[in-house]
Amino acid sequence: MVIAIRDDRQMRALTGLSQSQFQELLAVFMVVYHDVQQKAYEKGLEEGKRQRKPGGGAKGKLPELADKLLFVLYYYKTYPTFDVLGAQFDMARSKANENLHNLSPILYLTLVQLGMMPYREFKTPEALCAALKGIDKVIIDATERAYRRPQDKTKQQEYYSGKKKGHTVKNTVMATIEKVIVFLGRTFTGHNHDYQMLKEEFPPELDWLKELVVLVDLGYLGIETDYGAKEIQIPHKKPRKSKKNPDPQLTAQEKANNKAISQIRIFVENAIGGIKRYNILVQRFRNHKNNFDDDVIGICAGLWNFSLSY
């Protein structure tokens, strides 16, 4: 490898995976990589733009497929600038950028091949039920991450999150009590409300949740009215302070109910924390390639599901 990995601890620090997990992922990554190369070769022949067979020519700074997988995982885990990434792997900044954007789709396809990628869209309630494979309890939440400040004024307002007091992007997350992320919504700009995002991806006029027990936080007030579910568990909201009620408090029973809900809802927080082991989701997102912010969180969620399955 380009970087000599000393032990399992260092492998986890640099890639988010153990050495055995890395090797298992590499086995499928190799198959997907060769398949992509072969299809590109055949397309090039048809268009008359290529003669050299896959694997020919100079090997570059990442000669082995293990080096390529380490390179892309290292970027996601540590999120260096391309100057630093290029220096670490002995290549130019522009080449580091090129390699990353060539290898990221292959990692994405690898996780799809392994069946670890969360669903990104459901067209019907039946498709959602089929994806859950008999699971009848899900936890829904939203995750928010820092985003670079757009130069355009209109976009600045669109990306500004009043909650985080900065520019962000957001995604809806649906997880099981086993912490597996079964659905990851598309990436919205920071001004969107958590519940509005859910309604856009799961229009209330369809019976998405009728067979499910759903746990949410107070960001989803109104869900009990808009959606017909088997059961919706949402915390009790503390009453507003008023002249008639200068010291509003929840009852002992309401506090107990809130505690019971939070003890289960913590699993979706664990799942969100799991994907944020990758610093690309923690630091302010600075990449400019179209849709890369959406691909990144999908890959990190797939890697989290992969680590759970091992």
Does 204 share its domain with 270? yes
* End-of-domain residue from the set 81, 113, 145: 113
Q: What pLDDT does 45 receive? A: 79
Any residues with CB less than 8 A from the CB of 239 and at least 6 apart, and which? Answer: 245, 248, 249, 250
Report the predicted TM-score, pTM, of the whole model to 2 decimal places.
Answer: 0.92
Is residue 58 predicted with pLDDT exceeding 90? no
**Higher model confidence: residue 59 or residue 129?**
129
For the residues 151-179, what does the mean pLDDT come to? Answer: 95
Phi and psi for 149 in degrees, rounded to 5?
-75, 115
Which of 38-42, 53-57, 151-155, 217-221 is the least confident region? 53-57
107 plus 131 within the same structural domain: no
Q: How many domains does the chain have?
A: 2
Judge contact between 34 and 70, C-beta under 8 A: no
Q: What is the mean pLDDT of residues 55-82?
A: 91
The pLDDT of residue 135 is: 94
Q: Rounded to an integer, what distance in angstroms lies between the CA atom of residue 270 and that of residue 179?
A: 7
Residues 71 and 219 in one domain: no
DSSP secondary structure of 53-95: PTT-S---S--SHHHHHHHHHHHHHH---HHHHHHHTTS-HHH
Half-sphere exposure of 308 (CA within 13 A, CB side): 23
User: Looking at the structure, do residues 57 and 191 belong to the same domain, yes or no?
Assistant: no
pLDDT attached to residue 40:
82
What pLDDT score does 33 carry? Answer: 96
User: What's residue 143's pLDDT?
Assistant: 97
The DSSP 8-state label assigned to residue 279 in this structure reads G
Instruction: Evaluate whether residue 162 is within a structural domain.
Output: yes
pLDDT at residue 215, rounded to an integer: 97
Whether the pLDDT of residue 82 is over 80: the answer is yes
Strands 166-175 and 181-184: antiparallel
Could you tell me if 88 and 224 lie in one domain?
A: no
Lowest mean pLDDT among 1-15, 155-169, 188-202: 1-15
Task: Tell me, yes or no, whether 108 and 65 share the same domain.
Answer: yes
Whole-number percent of the chain with pLDDT over 70:
98
Let me know if residue 308 belongs to a domain.
no
* Tokens 């260096």 found at: 80
Which pLDDT band holds residue 128 (cuts at 50, 70, 90)? very high
Mean pLDDT score across all residues of the chain: 93
Residue 176 pLDDT greater than 70, yes or no: yes
DSSP per-residue letters across 22-33: HHHHHHHHHHHH
Whether residue 170 is found in the same domain as residue 221: yes
**Is the pLDDT score of 41 beyond 90?**
no
Confidence class for position 56, pLDDT limits 50, 70, 90? low
Inform me whether the pLDDT recorded for 1 exceeds 70.
no
Q: Which residues pair with 96 in a beta bridge?
A: none
Domain containing residue 27? 8-113
Q: Which of 93, 103, 43 is nearest to 71 (CA)?
A: 103
Classify residue 50: in a domain, yes or no.
yes
Q: Based on the domain organization, do 20 and 139 belong to the same domain?
A: no
**Sequence-separated (6 or more) residues with CB below 8 Å from residue 126:** none
Judge if 141 and 73 occupy the same domain: no
Residue 299 lies in a domain: no
Instruction: Tell me: do 186 and 272 sit in the same domain.
Output: yes
- Total residues belonging to the chain: 310
| Residue 55 Cα distances to 60, 196, 301, angstroms | 11, 48, 31
Residue 244 and residue 172 share a domain: yes
Do 199 and 52 fall into the same domain?
no
The pLDDT of residue 183 is above 90: yes
pLDDT (0 to 100) of residue 241: 84
User: For 232-276, what is each residue's pLDDT tens digit?
Assistant: 999 999 888 887 788 889 999 999 999 999 999 999 999 999 999
Residue 2 has pLDDT above 80, yes or no: no
Q: Please check whether residue 163 lies inside any domain of the structure.
A: yes
DSSP 280: G
Question: 305 in a domain, yes or no?
Answer: no
